[in-house]
Chain A
Amino acid sequence: MLVRRCLAGDAVAWEEIVQKYNRRIYNICYRFAGSGEDAQDLTQEVFIKMYRTLKTYDVGRGAFMTWVTTITRNLLVDHFRKSKQDRVTDSMDTAPSEHEDAMPLSEQIPDKAAPPDAHVQSRETGETVHRALQKLSPELREAVILRDLQDMDYREIAAVLKVPEGTVKSRINRGRAELARLLQRTYRQVM
């Protein structure tokens, strides 16, 4: 309904769309890109692209939320390629044994004094987890973000990532496990 009104030239409908989805898109961008500035720029780019391609949205091909998330994900991939963060990422895609002689990832994460059990909800822990999330490969990162942070179901994630559901589940499992290992190393060193 909002999309139809917006396509009919209703500026208020477009503002409602922005109000409704900006928080969600900003959070996806923030968790993926890592910084608030990049997230703000990317969110604006997402809405600009949405505004220009809104007439191409087909209701029969999926929910509007899925369409919006697909646009967001595509822009995030482009942003990732431009920033070339894949050079510093480490993930389950590479065997852990290959990096045993290299500097552990935990050293790249700032030390945090608080143990995870005691301050799970604290802000510092959140920042630690957020920084560890940036160390995941983009494929694993986007999968866990859409599943565990955006609560999308596997079918929707598969539609957004354009991969089978089995691949989605496998990436989610590996992403979660990789994140846990990164954080274990971090807090093990601290203690």
Chain B
Amino acid sequence: MPGESKNGMQCAEFDLLLCEVLDEMLSGDRLEKFQAHGRVCPVCGPLLAEAKEGRQWLKSLQEVEPPANLVHNILVATTGLDTVRLRQPASAQPQISWAERMREWAGTLVAPVWAVARQPRFAMSFGMAFFSLSLALSMAGIKVSDLRHVDLRPSAVKRTYYEASGRVVKYYENIRFVYEIESRVREFKRATTPAEPGPAPEEQKERKNNNNTSGQPEQKQERNYSQGGDQPVLASAPNDPPVVTVTTYRRFV
């Protein structure tokens, strides 16, 4: 029985000392008491023999060899890196030049665009746009070969701009000068023409309208809407009405 005392030693104490005895760590008086208890106790005696035998069985077991890929699998599962890769020195890794890195970086940017451009619908759209542009240019009389001679340098573009603006101003000034000359000539003709009898009121009116070459709407004259056309005119008009010269300037916007 576990709590039974035989030869000055209880079974619980025997159980605790059993490991030390098998490890050959017990000696002296305690070892003698231990052995005496084991000889007379029906439980502890067989336990000593069986524990010793079982220990021998366990010690007979050989250490097993782990699988060859175990370390590799562990490293892949933990760090995600292969063993061979870890063992490579840093210097053995291929050096990538700066230009190659830039090329790779540019490749990563261009690749998506290139993937889109390779699609048939994009090619069809591009073809249609090119055809439309070519048609529009040919209809406008622009040859593509002429575009090659266009100087796109900043100084040349600036010079072209000033030349175009100068031409526009010059054209505008020329038009103004021509109309002014015409007006002077017309005035000079009237001044040199001999006096003629005054035309009928209808002729005067028509003449007045013909003198208006400005193209502007007829100038409004103050009218007395209380008088009708058939009413008698109280004031008499002179027989030789003065010639009115109207000088107009065509406005260019």
Q: Which residues of A contact B (CB under 8 A)?
A: 11-12, 14-15, 18-19, 22-23, 26-27, 30-31, 36, 39-40, 43-44, 47-48, 51, 116, 120-121, 125-126, 129-130, 132-133, 144, 148-149, 154, 166, 169-170, 172-173, 175-181, 183-184
The size of the chain B interface, using a CB distance under 8 A, is 37
A44 and B66 contacting across the interface, CB-CB below 8 Å: no
B57 and A154 contacting across the interface, CB-CB below 8 Å: no
Cross-chain contact of A166 among B16, B46, B49, B57 (Cβ < 8 A) = B16
Tell me, in angstroms, the Cα distance from A179 to B18 when the chains sit together: 16
Cross-chain contact of B50 among A30, A148, A176 (Cβ < 8 A) = A176
Cross-chain contact of B58 among A12, A26, A125, A149 (Cβ < 8 A) = A149
Judged by a CB distance under 8 angstroms, whether B70 is at the interface is yes
Indicate whether A18 sits within 8 Å of B71 (C-beta atoms), given known contacts A26-B66, A121-B60.
yes
Cross-chain contact of A40 among B16, B49, B61, B67 (Cβ < 8 A) = B67
Shortest 8 CB-CB distances between A and B: which pairs? A176-B54, A177-B50, A180-B54, A148-B58, A26-B66, A180-B53, A179-B54, A180-B50
Residues of A within 8 A of B65 (CB): 23
B54-96 Cβ-contact flags toward A at 8 Å (1 or 0): 1111111111111100110111011101010011000000000
Q: Which residues of B contact A (CB under 8 A)?
A: 15-16, 18-19, 46-47, 49-67, 70-71, 73-75, 77-79, 81, 83, 86-87
Tell me, in angstroms, the Cα distance from A129 to B60 when the chains sit together: 9
A44 and B53 contacting across the interface, CB-CB below 8 Å: no
- A-B CB contacts (within 8 Å), total count: 121
Most chain A CB within 10 A, of B56, B57, B63, B70, is at B57
B75 and A173 contacting across the interface, CB-CB below 8 Å: no
Nearest opposing residue in chain A for B74, CB measure: A47
A169 and B16 contacting across the interface, CB-CB below 8 Å: yes
Residues of B within 8 A of A23 (CB): 63, 65-66
A126 and B79 contacting across the interface, CB-CB below 8 Å: no
B60 and A30 contacting across the interface, CB-CB below 8 Å: no
Indicate whether A177 sits within 8 Å of B86 (C-beta atoms), given known contacts A18-B75, A22-B66, A126-B61.
no
A-B contact pairs, 29 of them (CB 8 A): A11-B81, A11-B86, A12-B87, A15-B83, A18-B74, A22-B70, A22-B71, A23-B63, A27-B63, A40-B73, A43-B66, A43-B70, A44-B73, A47-B74, A47-B77, A48-B77, A120-B60, A125-B60, A126-B62, A144-B54, A170-B16, A176-B51, A177-B50, A177-B51, A177-B54, A179-B54, A179-B57, A180-B53, A181-B50
